[in-house]
Chains A and B, each alone.
Chain A
Amino acid sequence: QKEVEQNSGPLSVPEGAIASLNCTYSDRVSQSFFWYRQYSGKSPELIMSIYSNGDKEDGRFTAQLNKASQYVSLLIRDSQPSDSATYLCAVNLRDGNNRKLIWGLGTSLAVNP
């Protein structure tokens, strides 16, 4: 069974701190990795995608990928109360001739003013 695992949280950080969210996956051939943010009652929103080992930065967000360890993380610098949401990790999986995403259950982040 292909799986994506995340700590459910809640992860609580003070405003201005760095929030670190982690995700591990079981399928060694996965090549594409995504982080989504989902506010309560809303649909998921793509915030980062990463395809190569190393770091990818976009504003306050940094995604880190280590394929050898099957590990992808998301760092949020200078956390703001508006970052309080559930963060979903998704991994691309080949399904025959098709592609689909396998989703983690999400990590709930609370940023305290």
Chain B
Amino acid sequence: DGGITQSPKYLFRKEGQNVTLSCEQNLNHDAMYWYRQDPGQGLRLIYYSQIVNDFQKGDIAEGYSVSREKKESFPLTVTSAQKNPTAFYLCASSPGQGTYEQYFGPGTRLTVT
């Protein structure tokens, strides 16, 4: 069963703690993306990666970090430097190589108090 998985679905953390969100895909897609979505707002790109061991900052990368050690996995760490971490985090993947549509995982809702 191919798809994109994100875990956990809900995550609660105390302020000042780093937290890592998981994103895994078995679609053999080259590119992967992380977005955050706040209530009533659009999708904002955090980081993206077109190939293994390479990634680029998106529009709101401050306070976040990523790695792309395997094609299937693109974890996102929300650090304590991120001022407003509470949000809905969405991971997506895209086939790449001239095909640009993105497919999304179910999302992780992070609440930091």
Tell me the total A-B contact number using a CB cutoff of 8 A: 46
Neighbouring A residues of B56 by C-beta, 8 Å: 95, 98
Known: A88-B42, A95-B56. A101 touches B106 (CB 8 A): no
Q: Are B42 and A105 in contact (CB under 8 A)?
A: yes
Question: Given the interface contacts A99-B100, A101-B100, does A44 sit within 8 Å of B90 by beta carbon?
Answer: yes
The answer, yes or no, to whether B48 is at the interface (CB within 8 Å) is: yes
* Majority SS at the chain A contact face: strand
Q: Indicate if A57 sits at the interface (CB-CB under 8 A).
A: no
Main secondary structure of the interface of B (DSSP, over half): strand
Q: Report the minimum CB–CB distance from A61 to chain B (whole Å).
A: 15
Task: Report the bound CA distance from A11 to B31 in whole Å.
Answer: 34
Residues of B within 8 A of A97 (CB): 50
CB closest chain-B residue, reference A46: B101
Given contacts A88-B43, A100-B48, A104-B42, contact A42 B102 (CB under 8 A): no
Whether B102 contacts A101 by the Cβ 8 Å rule is yes
The docked-state distance in angstroms from the alpha carbon of A100 to that of B104 is: 14
- A34 on interface, CB distance cutoff 8 Å: yes
Q: From residue A73, how far is it (CB to closest CB) to chain B in Å?
A: 18
Report the separation of the CA atoms of residues A104 and B106 in the bound assembly, to the nearest whole angstrom.
Answer: 20
Q: Which residues of B contact A32 (CB under 8 A)?
A: 100-101
Docked CA distance A90–B45 (Å): 13
A-B pairs, 6 with minimum CB distance: A43-B104, A105-B42, A92-B100, A103-B43, A43-B107, A32-B100
Interface residues of B (CB under 8 A from A): 31, 33, 41-43, 45, 48, 50, 56, 58, 90, 94, 96, 100-107
Q: A32-B101, A92-B100, A97-B50 are in contact. List 18 more A-B contacts (CB 8 A).
A: A32-B100, A34-B101, A42-B107, A43-B90, A43-B106, A43-B107, A44-B43, A46-B102, A88-B42, A88-B43, A99-B100, A100-B33, A100-B48, A101-B100, A103-B43, A105-B41, A105-B42, A106-B42
**A residues engaging B (CB < 8 A)?**
32, 34, 42-46, 49, 88, 90, 92, 95, 97-101, 103-106
